[in-house]
């Protein structure tokens, strides 16, 4: 699942909703300030990243590690 986020749909809240719906063990990568000098990519389990503060303009990629060979 891939999400383009904004100030009304923040990564922490989206991750919280996903964790509540059974995706807590899935992995997530949040990209903030991409292509800039302050670029930051945070990776972890959905349940671990849920509720954290991220830049409002971010991208979120959620995946199941079991899909990897």
- Would you state the pLDDT for residue 2? 97
- Would you state the pLDDT for residue 68? 59
Tens-place pLDDT, residues 51-69 = 999 999 999 999 997 755 5
- Picking from 65, 29, 62, the residue whose alpha carbon sits closest to that of residue 44 is 29
Contact indicator for 25, 45 with CB cutoff of 8 Å: yes
In 1-69, beta strands by DSSP E: 2-4, 27-32, 40-45, 58-63
Tens-place pLDDT, residues 27-36 = 999 999 999 9
- Picking from 17, 36, 18, 35, the residue whose alpha carbon sits closest to that of residue 27 is 18
- The whole-number average pLDDT for the span 7-30 is 97
Average model confidence (pLDDT) for the chain? 94
Rg (CA), the chain: 12
């Amino acid at each position: 699942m891939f999400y383009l986020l904004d100030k009304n749909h923040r990564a922490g809240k989206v991750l919280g909703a996903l964790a509540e719906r059974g995706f807590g063990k899935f992995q997530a990568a949040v990209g903030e300030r991409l292509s800039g000098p302050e670029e930051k990519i945070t990776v972890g389990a959905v349940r671990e990243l849920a509720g954290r503060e991220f830049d409002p303009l971010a991208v979120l990629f959620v995946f199941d590690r079991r899909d990897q060979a």
